Chains A and B, each alone.
Chain A
Amino acid sequence: MKFVDEYRDGALARGIAAAIAAEVEPDRTYAFMEFCGGHTHAISRYGIEDLLPPSLRLIHGPGCPVCVLPVGRIDDAIRLARLPNVTLCTYADLMRVPASHGGSLLKTKAAGGDVRMIYSPLDAVRIAEAEPDRQVVFLAIGFETTTPPTAIALRLAVSKQLANFTVFCNHVLTPVAMRAILDAAPLPGEQPIAIEGFVGPAHVSTIIGTGPYRIFAETYRKPVVIAGFEPLDVMQAILMLVRQVNEQRAEVENQYIRVVRPPGNVIAQDLCAEYFEVRDSFEWRGLGSLPASALKLRDAYATFDAEQRFDVTTVHADDNPACECGPILRGQKKPADCKLFGTVCTPETPMGACMVSSEGACAAHWTYGRFRDRQPERRRA
C-alpha cells in the first residue's frame, strides 16, 4: 500500500539501526517512553527492540484507551446495556474487557443485552435513526484522535434532532497523562522511572498539533519526537531522540511530517470545543484520578449526554488484585513481570485490559515479544 510499504523496508531499518548504534554514547544508557499503544504494537510486531543497542530501553506508556479505561466505566456501560430499551454501540476493542464480577460487554450481549459493534460513530447515529423505539447509546472512548469523529456524530444527531441518541463520553487527553507520568511520585517499593524523552503520538498529533508538547521540552527538559506508526518512523524518531539527548537539547521535533502539521487539525479542534468541555477529574486505570484529564459533553448538549439521561454514577471498582496492568501502564513493570502473564491471562482469556487491546503492552508482548524472553542474553531486555 502506498505510504505504508516503503516505511517497512528492512534494509533501510538496518541502516538506521547502524546509525543509532554508532551514535549512542558508550558508558551511558538511554530510556525513552513511547506513549502510544500504536507505537508499542509496532515496536513488538517489527522486533524493533532487537535492532536497538542494549543500552537503549523503551518504556511502554499508557496510550491505549481501552487499557486506561477503569473497570467502573465498563461496569457503567454494562448497566446501560442491560436496560430494557437501550442499544449500546461500541467499538469492538471494548467487547472483551473484563469488568466486575467476571462480566464483559460480550457476556452481556450473550445474556441478551443489545450490544452492537460499530466501525464509525456515524453507524450509531444511523441505528438511532432506523430504530426510533430504541435508546441508542454510543460508548465513546479514545484520545484526541477519536474525539472529533464523536463530535461529528453528535453534530449529525443534533441536526436531525434525534431524541433517542446519546453519547457515554470517556474521551481522554494525552498531554495530561504525559504530565502525570512525569509528575508521579513512585508508589512504595517502586523506583522513579527515568524517562529521558518521548516518542510522541502519531495521530493524536494530527489533531492537536505540536504545540501542546512544548511544555515537556521547555519545562521538563524532555525531548519529544512525534513519530508515525510504521517501523521506520519509530526508528528514525529514536535516532532523533538519541541526537537530542547527546546534544543536550530538549525540543519538540516532528518525524511524521507527511501527516502531522504544527497547528494540527483546526476544524477538528473547533468541533470538539463546540461539543465537549474538560471534566474536573477522571479516573485512569494505573494512573488514578487525574484532574482535567478527560472530556464530557457541554451543558448545551445535555440531552445527548448518556450520563445525564440515564443517571450514571460511576462506582470505583478494583482491578483483579494479581493483575499488574497498573504498574505496566505507569512504566514500572513489564508484561513478563506479571505472574498472570501467559498463564491464566492470554488474549483468549484476558484478566486485564492490557491483554485485551492488540496495542496493550501485554497483548503486544504475548503476540510478538515473548519469544525474545527465551533468548538468555537479552532476557527481559
Chain B
Amino acid sequence: MCLAISALVTELLPDQMARISLDGVVMTVSVALLEEVSPGDYVIIHVGHALSRIDAEEAARTLAMLAEIRALAPVP
C-alpha cells in the first residue's frame, strides 16, 4: 500500500498538478505536497500524489556506500 514509484516530472500544470513520465508512461499527478519541484526532477509517486523529491546526490552517495561495502566484503 505504501509502495510508491519514482517518476520524472516533465511539465508543471495549473492547480499544483504536474505531468510525469514513468519510463514513458505519462500521467498527471498532484504536486501539492512538495515545497518546490521543476521539470527534470525525479519524485516519488503514491496514489496520484508526489510525496517527495529524490535527491540525486544522496542517491549517488548510497550507491557509493554499497559499492564500498562490496569492495570490503570477503569475496563470496
Contacts and interface: CB of A to CB of B under 8 A. Distances in A.
Interface residues of B, number: 42
A236 B69 contact: yes
Contacts of B47: 91, 119-121, 146, 149
Interface stretch (A12-20, A182-190, A212-220, A367-375): A12-20
Interface in B15-39: 22-23, 29-30, 32-35
Contacts of B30: 120, 122, 149, 152
B73 A146 contact: no
Nearest to A232: B66
A22 interface: yes
B8 A149 contact: no
B1 A265 contact: no
A357 B1 contact: yes
A contacts with B: majority SS = helix
B2 A145 contact: yes
Contact of A141 (B1, B8, B22, B48): B1
A30 B61 CA distance: 28
| Size bracket, chain A contacts | 35 or more
Interface in B24-76: 29-30, 32-35, 42, 44, 46-49, 51-52, 54-56, 58-59, 61-63, 65-67, 69-76
Nearest to B57: A258
Contacts of B46: 145-146, 149, 203
Nearest to A152: B32
B10 interface: no
11 contacts: A4-B5, A15-B71, A15-B73, A36-B2, A37-B1, A142-B2, A152-B49, A236-B69, A259-B54, A259-B55, A267-B33
Interface of A: 1-4, 6-7, 11-12, 14-19, 21-22, 36-38, 41, 63-66, 91, 93, 119-123, 141-143, 145-146, 148-149, 152, 201-204, 206-207, 229, 232-233, 236, 239, 255, 257-261, 265, 267-268, 271, 357, 359
